Amino acid sequence: MLVAASSGGADASAQPASPSSAQAKTSSVTAAAKAAPGATVQRVMARNLGSPWGLVFLPNGNALVSSRDGATIVRVSKNGGKSAVGRVPGVVSNGRSGGEAGLLGLAIARDFAKTRWLYAYVSTRSDNRVVRMRYRSGKLGARHVVLKGIPRGLHHNGGRIAFGPDGQLYVTTGEGGNGSLAQRRSSLGGKILRVTPTGGVPRGNPFAGSPVWSMGHRNIEGLAWDSAGRLWSTEFGEKSWDELNLILAGRNYGWPATQGRTSNPRYTSPKAQWRTDAAGPSGIAIINDVAWIGALTGKRLYRVPLIGARAGTPRGFLVGSQGRLRTAVAAPDGSLWLTTSNTDGRADPRPGDDRILRLKVS
């Protein structure tokens, strides 16, 4: 089950159509058919990946992909195929115990062509943190800590990172299984954080001296901006509602007091919500102001049109055909790259799993 705002239907006229109006109607129907929403798998870009999680495109159109449980990074060519880059030291995964910690999100600096900084969200023995490494000549350099002290747990480790239109680094965190941390401003857990590329607190954050941008989150694994610079995120609920949220600075999104829509003025309601067995929303990509969301539990790709600050009616594609879907990223050529997540211990892997799919979307 899913619930979201939707637009009204078209009016139907009771008058018979003239030849010219009928012709116009036919042209309109043809145009509408050409623009019909859809998602078609065009190609498998890489196969036999282990628990792929982060995916980021390089300036040349190739991509780097992280393995959550293997703590490795591979390069996937824009023409298909993969090659090893290296292992990120100090990463401690708990995937074999059914957990969600490990090598998670990736991002590249906006001045990557000059600095070669590659950012990664990693789990250590004591915490989750953001690090950066130089990526040169297909190899990784030494780790440098950007941000540390994010709560780590068996579950709810967050992990998506991305640079926003403002040049700052946004980091999604989970509450590590301790819901109270999401409401504790002094904790980095259950938040979206906004920091400078070196980990400092930038001007304009809602709470003085704090990296916290928004709070009251259970576990966020999706982060993307629309054409107007609005920030959207996907969030896992607990046995009730999964969410698509429009993120505003300083807002409280309610966990653990509430999930899904609420009438409590202290908390901000989601723009769309799903029953948890139909979604499990992880990665989100926005292409032409349409959000594409990979669903793990729901085993489908959701298409959600974004209409200003509203979300239109969600529609599912690839239902069940590819298994669990985690990371969705807009490619430089306008396509959508999508990772499966069938080797993470929560599904039966299929031949070639895990894979990266290239989709044509509209």
Q: What angle is formed at CA 116 by the lines to CA 174 and CA 341, rounded to 5 degrees?
A: 40
* Distance between CA atoms of residues 194 and 152, nearest Å: 19
24-42 mean pLDDT: 62
Residue 246: pLDDT over 50: yes
Check whether 225 has a pLDDT greater than 60.
yes
Per-residue model confidence (pLDDT) at position 92? 97
User: Which of 360, 322, 361, 328 has its CA nearest to residue 343?
Assistant: 322
Residue 3's pLDDT band, with cuts at 50, 70 and 90, is low
Q: SS3 string of 63-78?
A: EEEEECCCCEEEEECC
Give percent of the chain with pLDDT exceeding 90. 88
How far from chain centre, in Å, is Cα 266? Answer: 26
pLDDT digits 0-9 by tens, 125-166: 999 999 999 999 999 999 999 999 999 999 999 999 999 999
Question: Which of 32-36, 38-42, 246-250, 275-279 bottoms out in mean pLDDT, i.e. has the lowest?
Answer: 32-36
Helix H or strand E encompassing 23:
helix 19-34
Residue 110 has pLDDT above 90, yes or no: yes
Each residue's pLDDT tens digit, 186-204 = 999 999 999 999 999 999 9
Q: How is the chain split into domains, by residue range?
A: 44-361
Pick the CATH number of 44-361 from 2.60.40.1660, 1.10.3210.10, 3.40.50.620, 2.120.10.30: 2.120.10.30
Interior CA angle at 162 toward 303 and 105, to 5°?
85
Task: Give the residue from 312, 181, 297 showing the smallest Cα distance to 238.
Answer: 297
Q: What is the pLDDT of residue 36?
A: 84
**For 163-175, what is the mean pLDDT?**
98
Q: 262-303 pLDDT, tens per residue?
A: 999 999 999 999 999 999 999 999 999 999 999 999 999 999
**3-state secondary structure labels for all residues of 316-332:** EECCCCCCCEEEEEECC
- Token digits for 28? 């309109």
- Asked whether the bond before 354 is cis by omega within 30 degrees of 0, the reply is yes
Contact 109, 64 (CB under 8 A): no
Q: Is pLDDT larger for residue 52 or for residue 1?
A: 52
**Residue 4 clears pLDDT 60, i.e. is over it:** no
